[in-house]
């Protein structure tokens, strides 16, 4: 039987990060992905994700600060640029509910540089916007964009270059911990290419579970159930009109988040002459098996109308829509924790806002698996005890 120090299950961005940072600690690492590497069935594909320290919750601000250092080291190790810093704005409509309401207060307390602008000031600074008077704008210069698929591939490449063994198209069917400290048996099936019957069992001292929407399947036999809301999300790429094309370049147009009753977000042009935008938490609930990959015309219409009001460009073209998957925990908190009754199994769940933290998230999972501790404050990120069905941020 094959014996490893660490086994990572699920190679989206968080598992790929955990595999890299575990291998970086000179441990014998194996990692499994049920689909091909870089697939589009989870949460980590496509081009861009927002990175920011701009967060109303102090624990996330601190982790984001650590993550920026990890991103810099990752870029250095890879010899690749993964982040593009553009500056970013969070729009706070005063008469709507916003989970970002305490943003400025938190940024003050955490010493994050920012500017607070009224609507006139923001419209003047970025004439692309047409903000109504009731909107406050928080600008943070450190906000930017991570290249999503390039980051995932880079981490997998680096993990392999540090000796990690990666099995793609290999589904983990069962994770069976022995008594604490005695390791875990991992039963796998090689999928696809007519090799469905190829089953193998591996042993690892520790298992890191980064299986996002599929997590409860592996936890059920261990008597653990995490209350997760899973939904299909979508983002759309728009082509600005020729007249306004330059307006949306990253040196003129920031990453933006509309933090109101409904939350929308978007990017300047990035890698191609299009701007990407989407709605956060569209509440299109499903399971990965029920996912249709079919875009919702209603969501697209909602987004287009919002954009037409907030930064008009008559004649802007909708080029393509890409679907993705959100997996949300109660209160949208991260989970970074060993299982209480099975401490050799460590769970990492990013609650649909984890990309920006990925290198730090993966490093912390590796530290928990190998060192048994981390210097980061993860006290807020335990296994949730209470089930709730609705959570937004």
Ligand X SMILES: Cc1cc2nc3c(=O)[nH]c(=O)nc-3n(C[C@H](O)[C@H](O)[C@H](O)COP(=O)(O)OP(=O)(O)OC[C@H]3O[C@@H](n4cnc5c(N)ncnc54)[C@H](O)[C@@H]3O)c2cc1C
Q: Could you list the residues that contact ligand X (CB under 6 A)? A: 9-15, 32-35, 41-44, 49-50, 171-172, 210-214, 218, 233, 235, 278, 324-326, 350, 352-356
DSSP code at position 285 = B
Considering the complex, what minimum distance in angstroms separates the CB of residue 51 from ligand X? 7
| N-to-C CA span, the chain | 45
Partners of 364 in beta bridges? none
Q: Write the burial class of residue 30 (CB in 10 Å: 0-12 exposed, 13-18 middle, 19+ buried).
A: buried
**Which DSSP string do the residues of 237-277 spell out, in sequence order?**
EEEPPGGGGGGGSTTTS-EEEEESSSEEEE----SSS-EEE
Q: Write the burial class of residue 158 (CB in 10 Å: 0-12 exposed, 13-18 middle, 19+ buried).
A: buried
CA distances from 373 to 309, 335, 338, 364 (A): 49, 15, 11, 8
Task: For ligand X, give the closer residue by CB, 260 or 359.
Answer: 359
Report the residue number whose CB is nearest to ligand X: 12
Considering the complex, what minimum distance in angstroms separates the CB of residue 19 from ligand X? 11
Nearest to 185 by CA among 14, 7, 17: 7
Considering the complex, what minimum distance in angstroms separates the CB of residue 118 from ligand X? 26
**Residues in CB range of 260: below 8 A, 6 or more apart:** 91, 92, 93, 96, 97, 98
Q: Are 167 and 187 in contact (CB under 8 A)?
A: no
Strand ranges across the sheet with 135-140: 115-117, 135-140, 88-93, 255-259, 263-266, 275-280, 229-239, 317-328
Task: For ligand X, give the closer residue by CB, 118 or 288.
Answer: 288
Considering the complex, what minimum distance in angstroms separates the CB of residue 11 from ligand X? 6
Task: For ligand X, give the closer residue by CB, 44 or 53.
Answer: 44
Task: For ligand X, give the closer residue by CB, 32 or 253.
Answer: 32
Task: For ligand X, give the closer residue by CB, 316 or 356.
Answer: 356
Task: For ligand X, give the closer residue by CB, 35 or 157.
Answer: 35
Considering the complex, what minimum distance in angstroms separates the CB of residue 243 from ligand X? 28
Q: Write the burial class of residue 336 (CB in 10 Å: 0-12 exposed, 13-18 middle, 19+ buried).
A: buried
Task: For ligand X, give the closer residue by CB, 117 or 351.
Answer: 351
Residue 246 C-alpha from the chain's centroid:
29
Considering the complex, what minimum distance in angstroms separates the CB of residue 218 from ligand X? 6
Considering the complex, what minimum distance in angstroms separates the CB of residue 340 from ligand X? 21
Radius of gyration of the CA atoms of the chain, in A: 21
Task: For ligand X, give the closer residue by CB, 50 or 117.
Answer: 50
Q: Are 44 and 13 in contact (CB under 8 A)?
A: yes
Considering the complex, what minimum distance in angstroms separates the CB of residue 105 from ligand X? 22
CA distances from 354 to 15, 75, 168, 216, 277 (A): 12, 18, 22, 19, 18
Q: Are 175 and 9 in contact (CB under 8 A)?
A: yes
Considering the complex, what minimum distance in angstroms separates the CB of residue 180 from ligand X? 23
Task: For ligand X, give the closer residue by CB, 214 or 237.
Answer: 214
Considering the complex, what minimum distance in angstroms separates the CB of residue 349 from ligand X? 6
What whole-number distance in Å separates Cα of residue 9 and Cα of residue 260? 36
């Amino acid at each position: 039987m094959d014996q490893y120090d660490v086994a990572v299950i699920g190679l989206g961005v968080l598992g790929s990060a955990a595999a890299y940072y575990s291998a970086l600690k000179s441990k014998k690492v194996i990692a499994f992905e049920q689909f091909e590497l870089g697939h589009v069935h989870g949460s980590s594909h496509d081009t861009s994700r927002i990175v920011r320290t701009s967060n109303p919750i102090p624990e996330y601000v601190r982790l984001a600060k650590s993550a920026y250092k990890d991103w810099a080291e990752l870029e250095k190790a890879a010899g690749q640029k993964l982040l593009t810093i553009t500056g970013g704005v969070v729009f706070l409509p005063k008469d709507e509910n916003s989970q970002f309401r305490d943003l400025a207060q938190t940024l003050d307390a955490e010493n994050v540089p920012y500017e607070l602008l009224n609507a006139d000031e923001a419209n003047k600074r970025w004439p692309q916007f047409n903000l109504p008077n009731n909107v406050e704008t928080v600008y943070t210069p450190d906000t930017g964009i991570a290249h999503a698929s390039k980051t995932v591939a880079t981490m997998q490449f680096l993990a392999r270059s540090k000796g990690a063994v990666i099995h793609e198209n290999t589904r983990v069917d069962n994770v069976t911990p022995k008594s604490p400290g005695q390791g875990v048996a991992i039963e796998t099936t090689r999928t696809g290419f007519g090799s469905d019957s190829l089953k193998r069992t591996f042993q690892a001292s520790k298992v890191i579970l980064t299986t996002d929407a599929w997590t409860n399947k592996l936890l059920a036999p261990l008597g653990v159930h995490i209350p997760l809301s899973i939904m299909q999300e979508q983002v759309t790429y728009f082509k600005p009109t020729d007249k306004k094309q330059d307006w949306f370049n990253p040196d003129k147009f920031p990453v933006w988040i509309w933090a109101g009753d409904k939350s929308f977000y978007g990017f300047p042009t990035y890698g191609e002459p299009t701007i990407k935008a989407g709605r956060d938490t569209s509440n299109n609930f499903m399971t990965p098996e029920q996912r249709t990959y079919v875009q919702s015309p209603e969501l697209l219409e909602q987004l287009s109308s919002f954009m037409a009001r907030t930064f008009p460009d008559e004649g802007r073209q909708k080029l393509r829509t890409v679907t993705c998957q959100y997996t949300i925990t109660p209160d949208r908190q991260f989970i970074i924790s060993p299982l209480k009754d099975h401490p050799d199994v460590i769970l990492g769940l990013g609650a649909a806002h984890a990309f920006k933290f990925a290198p730090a998230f993966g490093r912390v999972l590796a530290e928990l698996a190998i060192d048994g501790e981390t210097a980061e404050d993860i006290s807020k990120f335990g296994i949730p005890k209470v089930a709730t069905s609705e959570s937004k941020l």
